[in-house]
């Protein structure tokens, strides 16, 4: 992704969701090693839901900033 002149990186919904999915998989895989609780694992899907419902609708796709 190219960095815009104002320093923001364009937001790509698919890449962001893929990143969160991979993060959850890795957290589950290393749950014991990292001493994570089920509550810790629930944080990422909550972020993903919040991103989709709250922030994504406010994205101005013309200049890739939040409205």
pLDDT per residue as tens digits for the range 18-61: 888 888 899 899 999 989 898 988 888 888 888 778 877 776 65
Whether 33 maps to a domain, the answer reads yes
Round the CA-based radius of gyration of the chain to a whole number and report it. 15
The Cβ-side half-sphere exposure at 5, using a 13 Å CA radius, reads 1
On whether the CB atoms of residues 58 and 66 are closer than 8 A, the answer is: yes
Q: Residue 3 — pLDDT band, cuts 50, 70, 90?
A: very low
What average pLDDT does the segment 8-14 reach? Answer: 64
Residue 64 has a pLDDT of: 57
Range of 38's domain? 23-66
Whether 56 maps to a domain, the answer reads yes
Question: How many domains, the chain?
Answer: 1
Whether 49 maps to a domain, the answer reads yes
Whether 1 maps to a domain, the answer reads no
Report how far residue 6's alpha carbon sits from residue 32's, in angstroms, rounded to the nearest whole number.
41
Per-residue b/e over 44-61, b at no fewer than 16 CB within 10 Å?
beeebeebeeeeeeebee
Whether 8 maps to a domain, the answer reads no
> Is residue 4 pLDDT above 70, yes or no?
no
Whether 10 maps to a domain, the answer reads no
Whether 17 maps to a domain, the answer reads no
* Model confidence, pTM: 0.56
């Amino acid at each position: 992704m190219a960095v815009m002149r104002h320093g923001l990186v364009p937001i790509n919904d698919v890449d962001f969701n893929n990143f969160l999915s991979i993060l959850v998989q890795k957290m589950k895989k290393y749950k014991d090693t990292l001493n994570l609780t089920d509550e810790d694992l629930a944080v990422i899907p909550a972020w993903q839901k919040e991103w989709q419902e709250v922030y994504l609708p406010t994205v101005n796709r013309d200049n890739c900033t939040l409205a």
